[in-house]
């Protein structure tokens, strides 16, 4: 299966979650065993030589490929969630999205100074959610951070919000 085939498999849903937003539904990739394997292999190949010790997944679609990749890399998995979902002491960050404001949290002990962290989510649009996630992880002073998305919406230029020392990659660019 090629990247072209993966891109064609993504379902587009207009006016979701609000009018004017075109939602890219990656669950079509997850239900197809060949597409899921291709995503897993591609992500592994992108990060297998980076020394990743923790994969951070962003609620909720980052919880699908994030643990798969963590397992393949021999790394731990750390979830970033909406407020009130994590049971231990948390840190949080608020941010603006293209259609509102939100807050995310992670466990205060999720990352250490010895970790090399790869943050993962499904889609890079304006970059607000992932930038907030990076700000959370930076508070833990990891050795290095990488950012990954399944899809980048190039016309929105979301990569511009990230610091230059953070490598940002996507499997697909639309």
Structural domain range at position 130: 51-173
* Cα 109 from Cα 90, distance rounded (Å): 8
Judge whether 11 counts as a catalytic residue.
Answer: no
Q: How would you classify the pairing of strands 90-97 and 100-107? A: antiparallel
Judge whether 4 counts as a catalytic residue.
Answer: no
What pLDDT was estimated at residue 99? 65
- 174 CB-contact burial (10 Å; exposed 0-12 / middle 13-18 / buried 19+): middle
What pLDDT was estimated at residue 6? 93
The answer to the question of residue 4 being in a domain is no
The answer to the question of residue 157 being in a domain is yes
> What's the predicted TM-score (pTM) here?
0.94
Quickly tell me which residue has 């993962």 as its tokens: 120
Determine the 3-state secondary structure of 14 from DSSP.
strand
The answer to the question of residue 22 being in a domain is no
What pLDDT was estimated at residue 18? 87
The answer to the question of residue 131 being in a domain is yes
Please give the tally of structural domains in the chain. 1
Catalytic residue selected from 38, 61, 81, 152? 61
What pLDDT was estimated at residue 31? 95
121 - beta bridge partners?
A: 149
The answer to the question of residue 147 being in a domain is yes
The answer to the question of residue 3 being in a domain is no
What pLDDT was estimated at residue 139? 95
What pLDDT was estimated at residue 1? 76
What pLDDT was estimated at residue 101? 85
**CATH code for the domain of 143:** 3.40.50.2020
The answer to the question of residue 151 being in a domain is yes
- Report which of 117, 173, 126 is spatially closest to residue 147, judged by C-alpha positions: 117
pLDDT (tens, 9 = 90+) of the chain, 174 residues, equals 788 899 999 999 999 988 988 999 999 999 999 999 999 999 999 999 999 999 999 999 999 999 999 999 999 999 999 999 999 999 999 987 766 789 999 999 999 999 999 999 999 988 999 999 999 999 999 999 999 999 999 999 999 999 999 999 999 999
Catalytic residue selected from 4, 11, 89, 98? 98
The answer to the question of residue 140 being in a domain is yes
Determine the 3-state secondary structure of 145 from DSSP.
strand
């Amino acid at each position: 299966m090629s990247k072209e085939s993966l891109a064609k498999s993504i379902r587009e849903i207009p006016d979701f979650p609000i009018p004017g937003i075109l939602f890219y539904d990656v669950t079509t990739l997850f239900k197809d065993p060949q597409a899921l394997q291709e995503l897993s292999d591609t992500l592994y190949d992108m990060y297998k030589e980076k020394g990743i010790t923790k994969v951070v997944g962003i609620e909720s679609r980052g919880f699908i490929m994030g643990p798969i990749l963590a397992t393949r890399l021999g790394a731990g998995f750390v979830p970033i969630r909406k407020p009130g979902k994590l049971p231990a002491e948390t840190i949080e960050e608020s941010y603006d999205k293209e259609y509102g404001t939100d807050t995310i949290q992670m466990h205060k002990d999720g990352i250490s100074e010895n970790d090399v962290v790869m943050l993962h989510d499904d889609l890079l649009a304006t970059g607000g959610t992932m930038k907030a996630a990076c700000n959370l992880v930076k508070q833990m002073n990891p050795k290095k951070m990488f950012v990954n998305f399944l899809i980048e919406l190039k016309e929105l230029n979301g990569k511009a919000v990230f610091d230059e020392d953070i490598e940002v990659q996507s499997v697909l660019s639309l």
